[in-house]
Amino acid sequence: MPERASSYAAEVDWAFNFVFWISVFFFALIVILTVVFAIKYRRRPGVEADNSITHNTKLEVFWSVVPLGLVIVIFWFGFSGFVDMRTFPKDAMVVKVHAKMWSWSFEYPNGVESTTLHVPLGQKVKLRMDSSDVLHSFWVPAFRVKQDVVPGRYTYLWFEAIKTGTFRVLCTEYCGTGHSTMLSAVEVQSPEAFKAWMAEESSGKNLSPVERGKKVFSLKGCAGCHTVTKDRKKLVGPGLYGIFGHEVTLAGGKKVLADENYLRESILDPNAKVVNGFPPIMSLIPLKDKELDGVIEYLKSLKD
Ligand code: HEC
Ligand SMILES: [Cu+2]
């Protein structure tokens, strides 16, 4: 089991272990008895089958009532845990979670946005989740929470972190080519560290265009499909390192120069010119003028 970092974890693990060991016990019991009886009562020459026993009421009541009791206990643990998870505390901090192919972003009550989820230790947090394309599923193994994120509606989740540290966030609903890279993290910080982080994030309004662009690039999910490293590794889309000022071969063989207008068009009207060898699956991601400008400056800065 992954480490336990939320108030649910101990109870979930207890229920899991309970069911697991009951299953192991009955599996062993049934397999052993099957083998023993198969050997002991096998057909042998000279031994007649004895059909005098038809049933045994005491034994039958026993093996019905005991499992019934066990499944009632299992139901009780499952149901009370479920009720806890679906009863949302009124005093929780609400964070909006935006899922899209293939990235996560998080939006806090004061409007700050981030690509990793920051939460203070010991504070109840409620997530309101939406997807702009297909079904995703938000999963934090260390918190023992998992919730589908469904296009066209909001879904919710709440938890309270009990341990500081960085814990993995995964998408656990197959959502296309980039599914396996749809990763993020939860940073559980002490309340002071969380406050300091929040203050720094919300004061960062005077970013240079390149810095702003870099932020937009990860917040808007561009990084889920494009690398920006020197090796120009392909993800779902082409690597964007060094793209500015270079020639791009389009589907059909035509070559164009990647100038500012090409970059602008590639972002505002993604399928107007499709890069050779790539599927036309980049969707339009709405950007404000300043964000678009930042992204273009950022792409221009990706060079030696
Ligand atoms: C769902 C995956 C996906 C996302 C998200 C995505 N792109 Fe793309 N992008 C692609 C693909 C695939 C191509 C190549 C096909 C084409 O040209 O449409 C591409 C092409 C491009 C190109 C042209 C590249 C070249 O080599 O000529 C640029 C520039 C670009 N994207 C920028 C962005 C920016 C900026 C964002 C975020 C606002 C973004 N993309 C988000 C998949 C994506
Ligand atoms: Cu997903």
- Residue 42 to residue 46: CA distance in whole angstroms: 12
Domain 93-204: give its CATH superfamily.
Cupredoxins -  blue copper proteins (2.60.40.420)
Burial class (CB within 10 angstroms; exposed 0-12, middle 13-18, buried 19+) of 222:
buried
Judge contact between 236 and 102, C-beta under 8 A: yes
Report the atom number in ligand 1 closest to the C-alpha of 287: 38
pLDDT band, very low/low/confident/very high, at 19 (cuts 50, 70, 90): very high
Q: Please work out whether the CB of residue 295 comes within 6 Å of at least one atom of ligand 1.
A: yes
Q: Which residues, by Cβ under 5 Å, contact ligand 2, an ion?
A: 136, 171, 175, 182
Structure confidence by residue, pLDDT tens digits, 240-268: 999 999 999 999 889 999 999 999 999 99
DSSP state of 224: G
Question: What is the reported pLDDT for 184?
Answer: 95
CA-to-CA distance for 34 and 66, rounded, in angstroms?
A: 20
Burial (CB count <10 Å: 0-12, 13-18, 19+), residue 215: buried
pTM of the model: 0.76
Chain CA centroid to CA 186, Å: 11
- DSSP per position, 239-304: --TT-TTSEEEBTTS-EEE--HHHHHHHHHSTTSSPBTTS-S-PPP----HHHHHHHHHHHHH---
Q: Which CATH class is domain 207-301?
A: mainly alpha
Looking at the DSSP bridge assignments, the partners of residue 117 are 186
Q: Tell whether the model's pLDDT for residue 286 goes beyond 90.
A: no
Q: Residue 46: which pLDDT band, with cuts at 50, 70 and 90? A: confident
CB 240 within 8 A of CB 252: no
Question: Is the CB of residue 285 below 6 angstroms from any atom belonging to ligand 1?
Answer: yes
Are the beta carbons of 182 and 224 closer than 8 angstroms?
yes
Can you give the pLDDT at residue 205? 65
* pLDDT tens per residue, range 102-127: 999 999 998 888 999 999 999 999 99
Counting from 1 in the atom list of ligand 1, the atom nearest the Cα of 274 is 17
Q: How far, in Å, is the centroid of ligand 1 from the Cα of 223? A: 9
Round the average pLDDT of the chain to a whole number and report it.
92
